[in-house]
Amino acid sequence: MATETGTIRSVDGRGLRVALVYPNRYHVGMSNLGFQTVYEQINRLDGAVCERAFLPEPVDTNAPKITTLENDAPLAGFDVIAFSISYENDYPNVLSILEQAGLPLQSSRRGKLHPLVVAGGVACLLNPEALSAFIDCFLLGESESLLPAFFDCLRENGHAAGGDKKHLLSALARDVAGVYVPALYRPRYRQDGTLAAFEPLKDAPATVERSVAKTLSRFTTCSTIVTPHTTFGDTYLVEVGRGCPHGCRFCSAGFIFRPPRFRSADQLREAIGAGSSVAQKIGLVGAAVSDLPEIKKLCAQALAEGLHLSFSSLRADALDADFIEVLRSSGVKTATIAPDAGSERMRRVINKGITEDDVLRAAQMLVESGIPNIKLYFMIGLPTETAADVEAIVDLVKKIKHVFLRASRARKRIGEITISLNCFVPKPFTPFQWVAMDTTASLKSKIKTVKNGLRKIPNVRLHADVPRWGHIQCLLSRGDRRTAEILQLAHQLQGNWPQTLKQTPVNSDFYVLRERSIDELLPWDFIDNGIDKSFLAQEYNRALDGRTSPPCPADDSCSLCGVCRHTSP
């Protein structure tokens, strides 16, 4: 903590004590703006004190108990242990942390003398079922609207005094929108293994409605703590908006955060001003930064004040001279472009909305401006993908390299092109939630095709996903409660997944390699994200036909996907 700026140290030991846990290493957790935001929000609440904990570094794994960063306090002594989970592949770490904290893994084996164990984050909002046996309750939705009501309910039901946990969980499920208590629901399965029903017990609601902040104007989401020991170094992060209008069919952010919401330029200007007092570099965060109204004006002002800027994402079709000047003036040496697919056909299938010309133009402008290196993101294993589509990745990279060389010669310096080749994992609440994931053998073959095609091209480097980890992510992302058995077995076998999948009686291929029917009841259907399932099915069919769809208009009068119809007063 000696290198941190902004650490919150509470001297008041009264009230609810919360251990906020990121189930990965410190540098990963502190790079996550959502984790930092929840830390600040809980500490701002009356009667609550929040400390942080992380997966211990490898050198610390023999420590007898996991403790918090602020006061070296054992997790078992807190009133609440709250996991912030962004990625499914961190699920095994949740079990490791609970065990190292000296707590029973199963929620059913923890009583009123144990902390309440809760979890939230994007991964949980998509589908929490793989963790349902280990978590007392999930907070599904956005923390700005969820946390105040959640902690009010805890205090009203005397949780800090060791009140009755069953009574507390019933009250949370009944009274707080966005709280999901797995013990209050019973799944029933058909003979073929598919879900027949998901039945609420007692007073639990039939569906759990995500909690959402209708407007972001009342909340500023930015770094609470700045430290060099993160992915971004000494960068002050500012969230410019939430959600994305473009509706890429593989991406959950374009659907679960509908409609996209942006903060005002004045609000962001104030946040950037606050950040400039602790850092010279400001990171603008959001799934659609380039769609922010007045973004160029905001950037120009920040540059005029001597600040450096970085962006979490910029679309190739949005890159122009103004944006590129911001990158160049901020000392950016590597710019990122995400074509995602090599062929125009595949980009129509995924509704990417950019063309090959957009990509080539962006690459040329970047290199001509003096930014020497380019990173390209592609996916393999997408629905309807053919061998020609995989070869098209190689062809597009070669075209980019040609543009790259031509633009670099004038500057007498040739940089590098880095390819990030990722395995497509179908996600809940997207139009591709029904599709079967590609097999490991097929994905390996496609990676080999791209590697061989690029092998002899100088200054091009390829980093490819490990297909096995993509399959595990898919299993945990689309599984029902039975996948909790697989997760616990993997924990018992110390993360040996090949052995786990051999020993488990649960068939992992049922969740990973099986195509679902449109009318199948899915394990995450009990979550109400506002989007009509029929809209996702319509988008799926448009994808199969290679038809694109327009961006989300974020208009209250629109009823196309159902979100605005459900949220309008």
What is the number of structural domains in the chain? Answer: 2
My answer on whether 198 and 289 are in the same domain is: no
Instruction: pLDDT band for 565, please (50, 70, 90 cuts).
Output: confident
Tell me, yes or no, whether 521 lies in a domain.
Answer: no
pLDDT at 163 over 90: no
Tell me, yes or no, whether 191 lies in a domain.
Answer: yes
Tell me, yes or no, whether 554 lies in a domain.
Answer: no
Tell me, yes or no, whether 513 lies in a domain.
Answer: no
My answer on whether 405 and 467 are in the same domain is: yes
Give residue 412's pLDDT: 74
Query: 54-68, 118-132, 365-379, 452-466: which has the minimum mean pLDDT?
Result: 54-68
My answer on whether 35 and 162 are in the same domain is: yes
Of 562 and 487, the one with more pLDDT = 487
Instruction: pLDDT band for 27, please (50, 70, 90 cuts).
Output: very high
Total residue count of the chain as it appears in this document: 569
CA dihedral sign of residues 151, 154, 156, 161 = negative
CATH assignment of the domain containing 165: 3.40.50
Number of C-beta neighbours around residue 414 at 10 A: 17
My answer on whether 134 and 243 are in the same domain is: no
Residue 36 and residue 223 in contact, taking contact as beta carbons nearer than 8 Å: yes
My answer on whether 37 and 89 are in the same domain is: yes
CATH assignment of the domain containing 449: 3.80.30.20
Mean pLDDT over 57-82 rounds to 85
My answer on whether 433 and 324 are in the same domain is: yes
Radius of gyration for the chain, computed over Cα atoms and rounded to the nearest angstrom: 24
Tell me, yes or no, whether 87 lies in a domain.
Answer: yes
| Residue that terminates a domain, selected from 191, 209, 227 | 209
My answer on whether 47 and 101 are in the same domain is: yes
Question: Mapping DSSP to helix (H, G, I), strand (E, B) and coil, where does residue 549 land?
Answer: coil
My answer on whether 288 and 202 are in the same domain is: no
CA separation for the pair 494, 267 (Å, rounded)? 47
Mean pLDDT over 397-424 rounds to 91
- The counts of H helices and E strands in the chain are 20, 19
Residue type, 264: S
Quick one: which H or E segment has residue 305?
none
pLDDT at 209 over 80: yes
Give residue 219's pLDDT: 87
pLDDT at 563 over 50: yes
To the nearest 10°, report the CA torsion of 459, 460, 461, 464.
Answer: 180
Give residue 367's pLDDT: 92
Query: 59-63, 128-132, 316-320, 408-412: which has the minimum mean pLDDT?
Result: 59-63
Instruction: pLDDT band for 566, please (50, 70, 90 cuts).
Output: low
Instruction: pLDDT band for 214, please (50, 70, 90 cuts).
Output: confident
Mean pLDDT over 163-170 rounds to 88
Tell me, yes or no, whether 502 lies in a domain.
Answer: no
My answer on whether 182 and 277 are in the same domain is: no
**Residue given tokens 């909002």 in the structure block:** 125
Residue 182 and residue 172 in contact, taking contact as beta carbons nearer than 8 Å: no
241-299 pLDDT, tens digit per residue, is 999 999 999 999 999 999 999 999 999 999 999 999 999 999 999 999 999 989 999 99
CA separation for the pair 401, 421 (Å, rounded)? 17
Looking at residue 312, what DSSP letter applies?
Answer: S
Mean pLDDT over 67-92 rounds to 96
Domain that residue 261 falls in: 235-478+530-544
Give residue 569's pLDDT: 44
Residue 93 and residue 58 in contact, taking contact as beta carbons nearer than 8 Å: no
My answer on whether 328 and 437 are in the same domain is: yes
My answer on whether 289 and 432 are in the same domain is: yes
- Chain-centroid distance of CA 7 in Å reads 24
Tell me, yes or no, whether 559 lies in a domain.
Answer: no
Quick one: which H or E segment has residue 14?
none
pTM (predicted TM-score)? 0.95
CA separation for the pair 495, 488 (Å, rounded)? 10
| Residue that terminates a domain, selected from 209, 244, 262 | 209
CA separation for the pair 124, 137 (Å, rounded)? 11
Give residue 228's pLDDT: 87
My answer on whether 198 and 272 are in the same domain is: no
CA separation for the pair 188, 250 (Å, rounded)? 29
Mean pLDDT over 33-50 rounds to 95
541-558 pLDDT, tens digit per residue, is 999 999 999 999 878 788
